[in-house]
Amino acid sequence: MRTERHVSLFKNGRNQALRIPREFELAGNKAIVRKEGDRLIIEPVQRHSLLAMLSTWEPLEESLPAIADLTAEPIDI
């Protein structure tokens, strides 16, 4: 795969834009753009699942109070 390609810049409303060639497409529909000197760095936003995030948390050290098992009373409708 080529790692460099010339592209054209154009105006989209008040923004400057460019078309990303197919071989450089990013996954997803959101990206992060940052500027380092004269370079623009474009990175896809990594979407993490809730389970992946929770797996990084440390377990709670404190104990939780016991909850009484209250059975619902039947209601005559």
Give the model confidence (pLDDT) of 6-41 as tens digits: 999 999 999 999 999 999 999 888 899 999 999 999
Residue 69 pLDDT greater than 90, yes or no:
no
CA distances from 5 to 8, 19, 51 (A): 10, 11, 39
Q: What is the pTM of this model?
A: 0.53
Q: What is the rounded average pLDDT for all residues in the chain?
A: 88
pLDDT greater than 90 at residue 42: yes
Residue 23 CB partners (closer than 8 Å, separation 6+): 1, 2, 5
Parent domain of 32:
9-54
Token couple for 58: 């440390």
Q: Where are the alpha helices (DSSP H) in 1-77?
A: 50-54
Total domains in the fold of the chain: 1
The pLDDT value recorded for residue 1 is 62
**pLDDT over 70 for what percent of the chain?**
99
User: Residue 71: inside a domain, yes or no?
Assistant: no
Question: Is 46 part of a structural domain of the chain?
Answer: yes
